[in-house]
Amino acid sequence: MLSVYLLTSLFACGEAPPPPPPAAPPKAAVPAPPPPAPVAAPAPTGPYTPDPLAQAAYDAAKAAGAEAKTNPKAGDAAASAAGKIQYEKCQICHGATGAGDGIAGAALPQKPSQFTWDERWAATTPGTKHWIILNGIAGTSMAPLGLTEDQAWEVLTYIEAELRKK
């Protein structure tokens, strides 16, 4: 009863009605749609001439006796599956499809190699690539990533079987 009295007397006194509640805060901006999935850059074609840093790595692999090694796991499906997991460490630079277009690669002074470039892929032996995966290419962002000998063969098996599949 008291409150009814108070209310009536309030309005009776000519008080302005209470202000409308403040407008609801604007809804949070709709998040931008995710960027489109990367489209594989076209593989370069034509002859490959190694730059001095890559050439130095090839020479070091040769001096270490790695050049002539062959991949003991080539074509092995289980090795390819294991290599796919290791490849997660590579795709930030070499790209999900091996086209050298990973997100970090764009910012590098020396672009990651494109595994899809036939002439470059053919220019080194599996043993040289294995040595590079284990030892990196000095002076570039291709650093050793801590793979074991077996894991390095497995990731090569994956690149051959899936990324270079024609």
Contacts with ligand HEC, residue ranges (CB under 6 A): 51, 53-54, 86, 89-90, 92-94, 104, 108, 110, 112-113, 120, 124, 129, 132-133, 137, 140-142, 145, 147, 155
* Cβ distance to ligand HEC smaller for residue 16 or 107: 107
The CB-of-103 to ligand HEC minimum distance in angstroms stands at 10
* Cβ distance to ligand HEC smaller for residue 10 or 106: 106
* Cβ distance to ligand HEC smaller for residue 4 or 160: 160
The CB-of-156 to ligand HEC minimum distance in angstroms stands at 7
The CB-of-96 to ligand HEC minimum distance in angstroms stands at 12
Place of tokens 């490959």: 48
Place of tokens 């209310």: 7
